[in-house]
Structure 1
Amino acid sequence: MDGFQQAAPDRATVQPGVPARTRRIRLRPILLVLLGIAAGSAGGYYGHRWWTTGRFVEETDDAYTQADAVTIAPRVSGTINDLVVTDNQLVRAGQVLARIDDRDYRAAVAQAEADIAAAQADTGNLDAQITLQQASIAQATADIASAQAALDFARADYARYMDLMRTGNGTVQRAQQADTDIRSKTAALARSRAALEAAQQQVHVLQAQRTRTAAALARAEATAQQAKLNLSYTTIAAPVDGAVGDRSVRLGQYVQPGTKLLDVVPVGRAIYVVANFKETQLDRMWRGEHAYISVDMLPGVALHGHVDSLAPGSGAQFALLPPENATGNFTKIVQRVPVKIVLDGADQPTLAKLRPGLSVIASVDTRTRPEGPLQTLVGETGSGAPAVAARAP
């Protein structure tokens, strides 16, 4: 009796389960229909989105932020006696980064200026000598005129005495004295002319010396200019705005010209994106098309930009070892071409957080081609050569 009573509840508990299973079987088609409707709706939504938008957008995750970093190196040698900046410090263009001990360079400037003064003194002395020699030339010219007049008078005397001697009114001795006087005056005239020639030649000599001293003066001035430049090079300043990176210089270090001290890396709005698109994605890309950038560093933030230019070759062409496909074994690989994307930073304060080398996802909307005559990023010019996009003015 007790066993029967125990079995009865078991049957009572099992029997109600049969209708529940039946209900689940009846609900299954409804659930399948609902799932089908949901899947169809999702497929329709994404299909419509792809048809209207997605098929016009080219996207790649092979993209990185870049900046035109500047390597800072000294132009003169010396010891760093003042290091103004530290690692990762933000600097402005023209801001002093470091200074080299300038005592030797100041001494070089002083010596060059002294050489200039000496050359100027030599030039002035020669100018004075040339002026004095011009006076000597004038005196020699006057002496020639005087000697010529004396010679003319002597010749006239000689003619008179010869006439007197022929008529018997003069002596032979007086005629001989007149002849001797002519010879003396002729020699004096020749001597004056020689003195004039010597004075003129001396002017040429002095002018040549002055040309040499003028060249020495110019050389001294050039040396002084170079010395001043070298002195200015002892102050090392930032050429662009940016942040100090990869600093290897230390206070007291002796540096040589061309030795890398540090890098000044532009940050913020100077950052741009280089996206390596597949060659099959470039057919509809134009300069000026809108680009959307998603940075891993800034989740949930969408940056805006535009296509700026296309590299003149694929990335493989500029590799250290370019591919050589002139062999029997060849496997075609889709090449990637770097595309430069400039960020539109007018209303994007988040650009200040960007740094070069960040991974990004770049998308280009090929429907946003700018109006006006353009050349495609990939295509042919009139000569048949590859054309890099450039908007017509």
Structure 2
Amino acid sequence: MFWIIAVVIVVIVALTLLVFRMEDLSHFDKEEYSVREASPSAENQNVLERLKEMRRAGAGLRGKARLLAMRKHMDSLSDGLDLQSEFRQCSTPKGEWVIAPGADTRRRILYIHGGAWAVGSPRSHRSITDRLSHIANAAVFSLDYRLMPEHRFMDGVRDCRKAYTWLLENGPEGESKSEFILIAGDSAGGSHTLGLLAWIRDNGLRQADGAVAFSPSTDLTLSAPSNRNNISTDPMLGPMFGGLSKVPRPVIWWATLATFRISPTSPIASPLLGNLANLPPTLIQASDSEMLLDNARRYTAKAKAAGSLVELHTWPGMVHVWQIFTPMLPEAEEAFADIEVFIRDIESRKSRPIAAAQT
């Protein structure tokens, strides 16, 4: 009996190593990164109270009932906000246009919302998309991609790809080419954003002018140190996913493969594990206290080593995707001011070859 068990264990280990082959990225953890010198504002306490409300929304519920309660609560995040943009529904692709007064609709942003690929919607993230439309003077298309578990992970990926291709040639008023296009997303949507950049490059499409990712997951293997070290300091993800730290990572990988129907080592699911060369200028924002900090750090370091223009800007003590709490949270306003500078830098780089040719 003992030898049978030993053989089974050896087979399982060998199969795990074969199926989930990946490079060791721990050397990127040595890269230096700066954190803004500031303490969380007083308004951050209000954000923490909002997170408690979110947890209470699903308390005592299980399965589908809990999922629906979480989706309903998340959609309510934008309720009561004084949003000046026009919100215009679109059926194909499914989503909504967010257009600030006077925005140039030839300038476009594809926004991919977060929510662990299972919750969230264009409505839940209106505070972000409204703000992006204002600061970028652009029409934002907030994609309502298909969510798990009703759909497969790859269904959402395909929705992102189709939406981007469509957005190149279509605006709020119908068919027209985009003059400037940005891709942005948060958390799970931030990971979709980074994966989409690589897909655009590999398929020879017109690349986005730039990208913004708020606290992207980047790596479903959960191998970065902060995935475990920052559990106690992450008031949003810690209570929801902290328990995974007690589960052996190979077990998590097999469970992810079964749930997502794609390997966590695939660059589609984990953009960090793919080729990060020849990508457009990308800004990543993260908190130094969140579980996904090192996912962002590793992605930035690897992309820079590959020659891509990727920046990581880090805030101290913020919750995961604190940008969604604009305008209540001053640090959220700081983040959008940071994005505005990033967009101006992109446009400045684009205009330099033209200026040089004219001289």
TM-score interval (norm. to shorter): under 0.3
Normalized per residue, the structure richer in strand is 1
Report which structure shows greater RCO (CA 8 Å, sep ≥6): 1
TM-score, length-scaled by structure 2: 0.17
Larger radius of gyration: 1
